[in-house]
Copies of this chain bind each other. A is one copy, B any other.
């Protein structure tokens, strides 16, 4: 069976990686970006660059959107030369951006009215894993549509979680995971900083915690990088801040209180307020540094 053509709107950091993974998997890919520099990168990766979302839709009945947020998704689908007017009946939109689940659900209904199926499939793992085809996907959509995308999803991701058939559940699951990740991250920063303030060796804290009941993926990864003074940005602080905002909105819409999530959000906001927008979210520990004057590993005494 020939691989179907795949459209991809938004070959940014993640989108370009996905483009590469699909091309390596043998899928013809048609891309579109508002930024000509991204178009050039997509072309160099082997994609066919199109002039508009509608133009993409004329070449591919399955279109992946990897834009920043709900507003851009709306523009791509329903704006001038948008997807919705050009996709054939039976077309599929795969929404890989993290948006509020209510938005995803409503988008699904609006597209369905035009004979288009939405698959809500937020992704995570960062650009390197996207390009390697090893990012994770949390996938929600009708079974038949998922089957039509199975080959493409296999090329894009080796960690695919099928959540349900209800558009929005992919986003809900991602928000639940990222809420937990944010709480674990801020909690790790808080406890590490307390330990440093109390005179413990930070390397020793990492060793003990990661072998004990305090272990978390976030403590291992992010505090490991704080210890090493590694300033690599794998996830810029505003991204997790936005995800927790969306989780708090989900809680609000369900009248579900999130005290831990709210406290974590405050610390992430302070990270941005202190000017660390372009840094990795690991550096939320600087909020505790600002509150206590602790010295982080590798830094000079004041």
Contacts and interface: CB of A to CB of B under 8 A. Distances in A.
Contacts of A242: none
A267 B226 CA distance: 29
A300 B199 CA distance: 50
A210 to B, nearest CB: 9
A194 B259 contact: no
A238 to B, nearest CB: 16
Contact of A201 (B164, B179, B192, B209): B164
Contacts of A215: 216-217
A251 interface: yes
B124 A213 contact: yes
Interface in A134-186: 136, 138, 159, 161, 163-164, 166, 169, 172-173, 176-181, 183-184, 186
A138 B169 CA distance: 43
Nearest to A190: B260
Contact of A173 (B177, B187, B205): B205
Contact of A217 (B204, B216, B255): B216
Interface residues of A, number: 67
A192 B179 CA distance: 10
A113 interface: no
20 contacts: A136-B211, A138-B208, A166-B199, A169-B200, A176-B195, A177-B213, A179-B214, A180-B216, A184-B184, A186-B260, A194-B251, A197-B256, A213-B217, A213-B221, A214-B217, A215-B216, A216-B217, A257-B292, A259-B266, A260-B263
Given A101-B198, A136-B211, 7 more contacts: A173-B204, A180-B214, A183-B184, A194-B261, A257-B291, A260-B264, A262-B263
